[in-house]
Amino acid sequence: MSFPNDLLYSREHTWVRVDGDTATVGITDYAQDKLGEILSVELFPEDSSIEQGEPFGVIESLKVTTELISPVSGEIISVNEDLADDVGILNSDSYDTGWMIAVDIRDLGELDNLLNAEEYVDYVEEYEEVD
């Protein structure tokens, strides 16, 4: 499993790529592996206002339906339309072509609540141990 160093991560297993005031958001390699084959995803549309720790969509795999929890607050400025054609890229390329939404970040200070790659790996390992 890979966790690129240039990303931030949430405890709800999303990643964030920050560029100025814009955050690109997707699910981590760990999340896609846990979900198994992803069948559908439904994301809040452009211009939706979303909150850190609150849903921004729902994802369905063969095993389960799961809420997607936003790692940042702000306005959705773009949704990855390619997912409508091939949701499989969430499994095969979750950090790149499998991005989900781009968000105009409302409060950059909220990024402090997120984890770096090393912290996220520790978090995932701890999470697995609980099982």
The residues that touch another protein, with contacts defined as CB under 8 A, are: 12, 34-37, 39-40, 42-45, 55, 57-58, 60-67, 69, 127-128, 130-131
Q: Least distance from C-beta 92 to another protein, angstroms?
A: 15
**Residue 126 CB, nearest distance to another protein (Å)?**
11
Looking at residue 22, its amino acid is T
Q: Which is nearer to another protein, 42 or 82 (CB)?
A: 42
H or E element, residue 49 = strand 49-50
Helix (H), strand (E) at residue 55: strand 55-61
The answer to whether the beta carbons of residues 39 and 95 sit under 8 Å apart is no
Shortest Å, Cβ 102 to another protein: 17
How far apart (Å, rounded) are the C-alpha atoms in residues 79 and 83?
Answer: 9
